[in-house]
Structure 1
């Protein structure tokens, strides 16, 4: 597979690192509007060709697939152009900034017959994969309730850098700069974590969003700090289970932590993924009577990068797919609506 990396900012380095380690994948080009950045990226990852636009790369055309690592608002036009040219696409999350555009991208990829997948990175967590298999095997019985959280602390800690002075963080706090806040940035991750682990999609949703004061007049330079910082969501899954999902950047003491608890009529599973490691615990069978939890060891699983390569070789999209990401975007869009009209909505279609 000859791969073009579109966008050469921070996350693109992860794409280059992971894809270049896969036998059969060759990084043949990079694209960025910043000439210095694409040149430095090419030197760092031994990529021969650099382009100033996707149009220029498509005119060259000597590649099979695109890793789309552009800003969120650019995913739609660039992916549509790549798909129209018959290129397979591995897109960063979220797939698009709204459900309508995400659906257009999904339908265009289906019509073109190309592989279309989204880098929902926490699918790479072996403990989540194992938890899902336990749930789907019926070991915890019918799912009744879930709890899911994504906790970050970079608004109260400088461990990742100083958001007050660094554009890579400030844009995430500003709607004008393309951010949908915590809901759009990490909400898609924790929703995927929850529905994948619980083995059921979301049927109904109600969400509250909150933006807290962070600077004088909530503005730093060109950045108006108006994107949401926290959300709390109640959901009902298609299997009938109730649940709560929440996320925030104000979680003091939590660098980057996802947690999922799935409670069934016969047992429970709990997944925790942190910046420094992951764990899976279960309470099954007779242990449910005593509340005894046991740690479960998990073998490594293929990464999304490896799955995309295998999908291109097979000529068939694997999960996480554009269609799945589109369904998640519908929930995110509805969550914003529910915050405005203060009532629950059903996820239809």
Structure 2
């Protein structure tokens, strides 16, 4: 059976644009799929820059107006890798044009926006996903299998932290991730959203939260992102930091589990400390993105004297997605989580079903984040709307 092509139009081209483009290009190298992506066109406001990036990333053409990209008849999928305040308008326009939609996280600025996005993709029957790529690390997928198989029993706890330190310098500029009208929230939406998504994936739906949020540096020099997480100061003028530098919250899950969450950019020495530990009635699981191929597992029924956490190198054919890459013990990296996610997306296009995490998950994550903000303001427990 032959494959058919899906023509990709990507809006944006910086950090996430690079990650997504690489994944599209490498996907057919590792996965044999019915649907194969073609890098058709990229959109960006600066013609000189977008032309250069189109050539570098491997796109066949470019546009300087994202609306023209969506209107093009030679585009089947719109991939949104722009700042958060643009997601809703772009995704809804793409869905109404009959295009499939892949959107970066967090899905929107508000739950109300996320709801409109979800209704748009449902109404227009297009395939949709939100790019919570950490679900697609083989170790996380294997953790999910162990949990579903009942190996750690009834889940009682999840401790999820996402610790970074790249904004600790008070002279780091006021980039878009620190401006409320563009980003919505600070650490909560930028990195806490990943912890929320992993918790919902592995443990279950969250029932209520109690949160607190802080901003340590209130003013920063004006500046812009250069690419990745680096930035440059462009003015000696200062601007107000309007979002959280750190967010923490407690969560009660619908299945009775208790969650403790922390997201911060002020944890010195933690470059990308995305971690969780899940404790059940029969055992425990630990994972750390900085050692993404390793999964630590403890089983309560191990014999006395040999009990303790064992470390599994999730690179064998028994581990989800690992079998398409290298021999056992030959690790994969951050970029492969996007390739795995895209393989899932392309399967969804072939089958006509929106794979998880999709816009419904993005909406649920947004509701949790909004409840954390409301809880912080009201200093009380907040139920998650259903």
Cross-structure match for 2:346: 309
Q: In structure 2, which of residues 179, 204, 208 is the aligned counterpart of residue 204 of structure 1?
A: 208
Q: Provide the secondary structure at the position in 1 that maps to 2:370.
A: helix
Asked if the contact 1:287–1:293 (Cα under 8 Å) also holds between the matched residues in 2, the reply is: no
Asked if the contact 1:179–1:185 (Cα under 8 Å) also holds between the matched residues in 2, the reply is: no
Q: Provide the secondary structure at the position in 1 that maps to 2:313.
A: coil
Mark the CA change 1:341 to 1:139 in structure 2 (over 3 Å): closer, same or farther.
same
Long gaps (5+) in structure 2: 1-5, 29-35, 224-235, 322-338
Distance 2:261 2:184 in 1: 20
1:103 and 2:108 equivalent?
Answer: no
1:147 and 2:169 equivalent?
Answer: no
Q: Provide the secondary structure at the position in 2 that maps to 1:204.
A: strand
Cα shift at 1:213: 2.4
Cross-structure match for 1:22: 27
Q: Considering only aligned residues, what root-mean-square deviation do their CA atoms show, in Å?
A: 2.1
Distance 2:137 2:147 in 1: 16
When normalised by structure 2's length, the TM-score is 0.83
Distance 2:10 2:350 in 1: 18
Cross-structure match for 1:333: 370
Q: Provide the secondary structure at the position in 2 that maps to 1:67.
A: strand
More off after superposition, 231-240 vs 303-312 = 303-312
Distance 1:43 1:173 in 2: 31
When normalised by structure 1's length, the TM-score is 0.91
More off after superposition, 327-336 vs 121-130 = 121-130
More off after superposition, 210-219 vs 44-53 = 210-219
Distance 1:29 1:225 in 2: 35
Cross-structure match for 2:87: 75
Q: How does 1:253-268 map to 2 (within 5 A)?
A: 253-268=269-284
Give the paired residue count: 340
Cross-structure match for 1:281: 296
Deviation digits for residues 46-90 of structure 1, max 9, x if unmatched? 322111112212333211111111110000001110000000001
Cα shift at 1:218: 11
Cα shift at 1:215: 4.7
Cross-structure match for 1:12: 17
Cα shift at 1:16: 1.0
Mark the CA change 1:324 to 1:27 in structure 2 (over 3 Å): closer, same or farther.
same
Q: How does 1:175-194 map to 2 (within 5 A)?
A: 175-194=180-199
Q: In structure 1, which of residues 108, 123, 127 is the aligned counterpart of residue 139 of structure 2?
A: 127
Cross-structure match for 1:322: 359
Asked if the contact 1:281–1:294 (Cα under 8 Å) also holds between the matched residues in 2, the reply is: yes
Cα shift at 1:43: 1.2
Asked if the contact 1:182–1:231 (Cα under 8 Å) also holds between the matched residues in 2, the reply is: yes
Cross-structure match for 2:171: 164
Distance 1:71 1:221 in 2: 23
Distance 2:55 2:377 in 1: 48
Q: How does 1:237-248 map to 2 (within 5 A)?
A: 237-248=253-264
Asked if the contact 2:85–2:181 (Cα under 8 Å) also holds between the matched residues in 1, the reply is: no
Cross-structure match for 2:232: none
More off after superposition, 87-96 vs 126-135 = 126-135
More off after superposition, 78-87 vs 279-288 = 279-288
Distance 1:55 1:172 in 2: 24
More off after superposition, 287-296 vs 116-125 = 287-296
Q: Provide the secondary structure at the position in 2 that maps to 1:62.
A: coil
Cα shift at 1:306: 1.6
Asked if the contact 1:202–1:237 (Cα under 8 Å) also holds between the matched residues in 2, the reply is: yes
Distance 2:260 2:58 in 1: 45
Mark the CA change 1:55 to 1:348 in structure 2 (over 3 Å): closer, same or farther.
closer
Mark the CA change 1:51 to 1:222 in structure 2 (over 3 Å): closer, same or farther.
farther
